[in-house]
Amino acid sequence: MTLMLDEVFPIAMSRTVPKLKASTPTVVAIWTLLSSKMEALPIEQPKNVSKEFRRAKAISGYTVISKLLEGDRLSMLEEPCENNSLTVGTVTLAGDDLISLLHIFEATTFGYAVVEKPDKEKDPSLIFIRDLLDLHITGHIYSDLLVSDVTSSPIFSISRSARLKDVLRDMLKRKFRRALLKDSERQIITDRDILEFLFANRRLEASAFDIVALEKALDKEVEIIKPTVAQKIGRHDNLRTAAQSMIESGTSCVLSPSGLITPWDLIMKPWRLGHLRVTSASR
């Protein structure tokens, strides 16, 4: 029996997300993204755009940071958000199954996909890889791997005196969005934490954006950011235990003696290794 997305993710598949027009200034899109507390937001596409290739435009913290660190920052922030977007996969509200979603995540390497709804007048939604963690708990997915098999290691650590723009550059270079503060065991700084600090308390009018304040903020040291305290689990724990810890703590990662574990590690790594079993029946 096929595991359909609208059956296992009824809330995620129908969640309401803020609407971004392609012409929305990037700085406004960033504020909207941060206030939504989501990892990405879809960008409205013309109704006549073909859905044949199952792709859509979205803006995320990752794309914003990569663009922010290159060229003229003010010009980038004033540009239409479509110019600073990425291409993500799409799934349909009633018609796609879990295997299809996993293939999309694997093909795009992004942990989210746009949900196209049957009613063309309704705005698209988003489904995130974090939504899949619950399936470890319900038994709809199962892996015989242990935490040590999927851990991202070694952990990338940073000094509290490092400048924010240098940390962001290092994160992009390493393709790692989380870093452990040196001299701590559980304190994590994420690119999202830094982005929220950089754009805190800004006015919504793009023309009034304080670029000088942004430049000064980028030169601040990491110690100004409030870190996330990650939960710790054992290297020999199973993936269900890791998923449960992540869900209960409300964080985007957990730590083990082997390194750091993210939702991607718990879903896509076992999938790519051929150690993720999908079933329609709860265990």
Q: Is residue 283 part of a domain?
A: no
| Residue that finishes a domain, picked among 131, 155, 172 | 131
* pLDDT computed for residue 146 by the predictor: 97
Q: Is residue 208 part of a domain?
A: yes
Same domain, 121 and 151: no
Which pair of tokens denotes residue 43?
Answer: 């960008």
Q: Where is pLDDT greater, at 7 or 123?
A: 7
Q: Name the 3-class secondary structure at 119.
A: coil
Same domain, 152 and 219: yes
Same domain, 216 and 175: yes
204: confidence class by pLDDT, cuts 50, 70, 90: very low
Q: Where is pLDDT greater, at 15 or 246?
A: 246
* pLDDT computed for residue 261 by the predictor: 96
**CATH number of the domain enclosing 214:** 3.10.580.10
- Residue 92 belongs to what domain range? 5-131
Same domain, 154 and 240: yes
Amino acid at the residue 43: I
Q: Is residue 40 part of a domain?
A: yes
Q: What is the 8-class DSSP label of residue 227? A: P
Same domain, 179 and 61: no
Burial of residue 274 (number of CB atoms within 10 Å: 0-12, 13-18, 19+): exposed
Q: Is residue 237 part of a domain?
A: yes
Q: Is residue 35 part of a domain?
A: yes
| Chain segment 171-193, per-residue pLDDT in tens | 999 988 999 999 898 999 999 99
Same domain, 171 and 104: no
Same domain, 98 and 160: no
Same domain, 96 and 166: no
Q: Is residue 109 part of a domain?
A: yes
Rounded CA-CA distance 93/4 in Å is 9
87: confidence class by pLDDT, cuts 50, 70, 90: very high
Same domain, 167 and 272: yes
Q: Give the percent of the chain with pLDDT over 90.
A: 69
Q: Is residue 140 part of a domain?
A: no
| Chain segment 205-258, per-residue pLDDT in tens | 555 667 888 899 999 999 999 999 999 999 999 999 999 999 999 999 999 998
48: confidence class by pLDDT, cuts 50, 70, 90: low
Amino acid at the residue 40: A
The structure's pTM equals 0.91
Residue tagged 């870093």 (tokens): 179
Mean pLDDT of 48-73: 81
Same domain, 156 and 269: yes
Same domain, 163 and 57: no
Q: What is the mean pLDDT of the chain?
A: 89
Same domain, 41 and 96: yes
Residue 38 in this model has a pLDDT that exceeds 80? yes
| Chain segment 109-162, per-residue pLDDT in tens | 989 999 887 766 577 889 999 999 999 999 999 999 999 999 987 788 999 999
Question: H-helix or E-strand containing 11?
Answer: helix 10-14
Domain count, the chain: 2
Rounded CA-CA distance 244/225 in Å is 27
| Residue that finishes a domain, picked among 68, 102, 131 | 131
